[in-house]
């Protein structure tokens, strides 16, 4: 049973195609804490989403084209057994990512990138044979950049302009492409959790809390502004640094697994993530437009349920399904989907001290409507991943 149990734990590493809020991609695998002895693990995954929408006729109609580019993620985990009571793990992951780019139509030129790397150091204490607690610091490094094309930037800063001055922009409007690039920031959060196990039944229930992490970015904003000094239209180039605080959300995850028959395991998770506090609002952009570039209105609940089967001492397989409910309302142009349903298949093969786990997952992304309005429907994402672990 231990082989299928470990394969189920590794399932979260492979092919995470759609996660909470549309920005989370590669979930750190705290489950490495429950490997026997000393263990090291390397992982790679890729997500390729096909996301497009249809513009309304009054902005020219047509398709947005595929606005979501493929993203790759690497991960590393090291677990050391200190003694009978204490275990230590260090994890490296790339938990958040965005790679949006519009190549045609009304949104053409709108691009956004988000990069992140997290390093976690976790100490686990085994209170008795069934109960353990764990926790430690989490360092998150992030950076981002965005470009908003002239039309969208001008509408944001002067939504009534086309009806005034013969259709021209009002003074103070942004009259060029707008761009912002953030500094690269590293900030500290923490992880705490507890687990209950009955090893004879491959039963484990673990509750893990991750704190929010606030980045205080320095954003370099660039654009051209229309002014009227002395009544004379003047175009002034603006290139300035501004404060950009962004809160990466706190989360609470309940993971569970249990044997239900000889060589058969059921596993899953329920995760709450506080995405409602996440927004991107550079100082000058807010001053010009009165709002943010992008945000999420709602917290998310993400569910996964799977079953694993041990076929031999070396080989086990698993299947899982995922679900995130629709929230409704207007969605960001940089993440224009709402919820998802997914299915995934994978397996794990053990050769002595080496364990290889691989899987593929496909998701049907929920229909959404962005401002304008532009309808995004019938979109999908596919991911694959592989992890290689060594016991020593």
Given a contact cutoff of 8 angstroms between Cβ atoms, the answer to whether 360 and 318 are in contact is no
Give residue 190's pLDDT.
Answer: 98
Q: Does 378 reside within a domain?
A: no
The pairing of strands 379-391 and 330-331 is unpaired
The pairing of strands 330-331 and 368-370 is parallel
The per-residue pLDDT for range 297-345, each reduced to its tens digit, is 889 899 999 999 999 999 999 999 999 988 877 788 888 999 999 999 9
Domain of 121, in residue numbers: 2-359
Buried b (16+ CB within 10 A) or exposed e, 248-259: bbbbebebbbbb
Q: For residue 141, give the CATH number of its domain.
A: 2.40.160.60
Q: Does 352 reside within a domain?
A: yes
Q: How confident is the model at residue 107 (pLDDT cuts 50, 70, 90)?
A: very high
Q: Does 355 reside within a domain?
A: yes
The set of residues, in sequence order, having a beta carbon less than 8 Å from that of 287 and lying 6+ positions away, is none
The per-residue pLDDT for range 111-151, each reduced to its tens digit, is 999 999 999 999 999 999 999 999 999 999 999 999 999 98
Number of domains present in the structure of the chain: 1
Q: What DSSP state is assigned to residue 97?
A: -
Give residue 19's pLDDT.
Answer: 53
Tokens coding 93: 């992951």
How far CA 225 is from CA of 17, 114, 245, 329, in Å, comes to: 40, 27, 24, 32
Q: Does 383 reside within a domain?
A: no
Q: Does 327 reside within a domain?
A: yes
H-helix or E-strand spanning residue 249? none
Q: Does 107 reside within a domain?
A: yes
Q: Which residues pair with 330 in a beta bridge?
A: 369
Q: How confident is the model at residue 165 (pLDDT cuts 50, 70, 90)?
A: very low
Q: Does 109 reside within a domain?
A: yes
Q: Does 376 reside within a domain?
A: no
Q: How confident is the model at residue 21 (pLDDT cuts 50, 70, 90)?
A: low
pTM of the model: 0.91
Look over the chain and give the mean of its residue pLDDT values, rounded to a whole number.
88
Asked if residue 269 has pLDDT above 90, the reply is yes
Q: How confident is the model at residue 8 (pLDDT cuts 50, 70, 90)?
A: low
Tokens coding 101: 């780019």
Closest alpha carbon to 95 in 173, 1, 189: 189
Give residue 105's pLDDT.
Answer: 94
Q: Is the peptide bond before 166 cis (omega within 30 degrees of 0)?
A: no
Give residue 366's pLDDT.
Answer: 92
């Amino acid at each position: 049973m231990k082989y299928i149990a470990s394969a189920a734990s590794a399932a979260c590493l492979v092919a995470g195609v759609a996660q909470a809020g549309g920005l989370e991609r590669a979930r750190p695998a705290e489950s490495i804490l429950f490997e026997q002895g000393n263990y090291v693990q390397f992982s790679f995954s890729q997500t390729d989403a096909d996301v497009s929408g249809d513009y309304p006729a009054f902005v020219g109609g047509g398709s947005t084209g595929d606005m979501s580019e493929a993203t790759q993620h690497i991960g590393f985990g090291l677990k050391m057994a200190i003694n009978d009571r204490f275990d230590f793990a260090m994890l490296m992951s790339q938990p958040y990512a965005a790679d949006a780019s519009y190549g045609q139509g009304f949104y053409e030129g709108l691009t956004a990138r988000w990069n992140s790397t997290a390093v976690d150091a976790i100490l686990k204490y085994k209170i008795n044979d069934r109960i353990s607690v764990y926790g430690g610091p989490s360092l998150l490094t992030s950076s981002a950049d965005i470009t908003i094309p002239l039309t969208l930037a001008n509408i944001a800063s002067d939504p009534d302009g086309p009806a005034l001055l013969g259709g021209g922009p009002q003074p103070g409007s942004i009259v060029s492409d707008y761009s912002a690039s953030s500094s690269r920031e590293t900030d500290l959060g923490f992880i705490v959790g507890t687990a209950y196990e009955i090893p004879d039944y491959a039963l484990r229930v673990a509750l893990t809390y991750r704190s929010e992490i606030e980045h205080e970015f320095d954003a370099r904003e660039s654009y051209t502004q229309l002014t009227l000094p002395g009544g004379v239209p003047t175009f002034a180039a603006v290139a300035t640094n501004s404060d950009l605080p962004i809160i990466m959300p706190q989360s609470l995850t309940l993971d569970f697994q249990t044997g239900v028959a000889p060589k058969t395991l059921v596993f899953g998770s329920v995760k709450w993530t506080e995405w409602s506090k996440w927004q991107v609002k550079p100082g000058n952009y807010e001053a010009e437009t009165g709002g943010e570039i992008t945000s999420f209105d709602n917290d998310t609940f993400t569910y996964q349920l799977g079953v694993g089967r041990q076929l031999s001492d070396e080989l086990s397989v698993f299947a899982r399904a995922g679900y995130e409910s629709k929230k409704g309302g207007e969605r960001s142009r940089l993440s224009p989907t709402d919820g998802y349903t997914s299915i995934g298949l994978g397996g794990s093969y053990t050769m002595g001290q080496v364990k290889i786990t691989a899987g593929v997952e496909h998701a049907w992304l929920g229909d959404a409507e962005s401002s304008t309005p532009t309808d995004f429907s019938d979109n999908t994402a596919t991911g694959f991943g592989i992890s290689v672990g060594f016991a020593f």
